[in-house]
Amino acid sequence: MENQIRPVVRAVIIRGDEILLCQPKGDNFYFFPGGEIKFGEGIEEALRRELKEELDAKLLEAEYIGTVENVFLENKKKEHEINMVFHACVDGGSFFSLESHIVFTLKKIKELDKENILPIGLKLSVMQWLQDKQTFWVPKQ
């Protein structure tokens, strides 16, 4: 879709002192799980679908964190996306990718500043949110 703004939903999934990141196979960067919102699909519905498709995880709870705009070049084409970010509580999911082009990994929250997470604005916003929260999320029993 040329000259289109892509609406994207992203999940911040925390396990103890670690956070789940996604990496395209063969690339040296990470991003937060999620993907494009389809036409006519609600934001939470898209988050639920993406987590099921990528991780076979069931979304239990979603807390809106914020929105981050990202304009970047990909394959020499200018891309523009709006990332709506949620702290997601999930049930199930092995954190093994169901999609062949990506892998998932847990990284230490205290070391996020050292990781190559894109877009950088989203990385910095999530790090600020984590710092402001000053507690690590614990799943409800």
Q: How far is CA 14 from the centre of its chain?
A: 11
- For the chain, the domains span 5-133
Predicted pLDDT of residue 136: 52
Predicted pLDDT of residue 141: 43
**What is the fold, at CATH topology level, of the domain defined by 5-133?**
Nucleoside Triphosphate Pyrophosphohydrolase (3.90.79)
- In order along its 141 residues, the chain shows pLDDT tens digits of 567 899 999 999 999 899 999 999 999 999 999 999 999 999 999 999 999 998 989 999 999 999 999 888 888 889 899 999 999 999 866 687 778 889 999 999 999 999 999 999 999 999 999 988 765 545 454
Q: Dig out the tokens for 4 from the structure.
A: 């289109």
Predicted pLDDT of residue 38: 96
The strands making up 18-24's β-sheet, listed across from edge to edge, are: 14-15, 18-24, 102-108
